[in-house]
Amino acid sequence: MASKVEQKSFDDALAYLREHGFDVLEAPGTKARIFLKKFNVSAAIEKDDKGGVKIFAYPGYLVGSEISKLVNKGYQQFLKTSKAEIPATADHLKALHAFSEELKEALGLPSLYNESLGTVSESYQYDRIVDRDKATSERKKRPWEVAGKAMAAKKSPA
């Protein structure tokens, strides 16, 4: 049976996060924006207009000093930053999942069934469906299309 989750105030959420082992850092130059870190995963929250909390930067595994974005390419999940894209390991995904669940608890956000089953990617980029909504002339050629033309060129008599 569904129960209503009551969202916590900004101050209550901060107190909960500190009590539960999160590293809490104030963002330089801002008063109501906080960076959180635990399990080598980070996110940022900020105070909303009503004194509540909203997520400013969604949880991502730290790669160097940058919060990565989890990208699902169908055959593998990747941690993507502005400088690198590395395959996500089971340990990365477990840390992301644990952090996300604790963050939802701290902020008084609902924990949805599909998210509770495992880590949810921020982006899905399956290689066979990328750009399929674009016109055929605007699409990047697929490897099998390029290879097919090369094979046809070899077979045709010159």
> What is the predicted pLDDT for the residue at 145?
74
Give the gyration radius of the chain's Cα atoms: 21
Tokens (6 digits) for 55: 């997520």
Global confidence as pTM: 0.67
pLDDT digits (tens, 9 = 90+) for 8-65: 888 888 888 899 889 888 877 777 788 999 999 999 888 888 878 888 888 899 998 8
E-assigned strands of 1-65?
23-26, 33-38, 41-47, 53-63
Closest CA to 70 of 129, 112, 21, 119: 119
- Helix or strand (DSSP H, E) at 146: helix 143-155
pLDDT in tens, 97-133: 888 888 888 888 777 665 665 566 656 566 666 676 7
Question: Among all chains, which residue has been given the structure tokens 């690198």?
Answer: 84
Predicted local confidence at residue 128, as pLDDT: 62
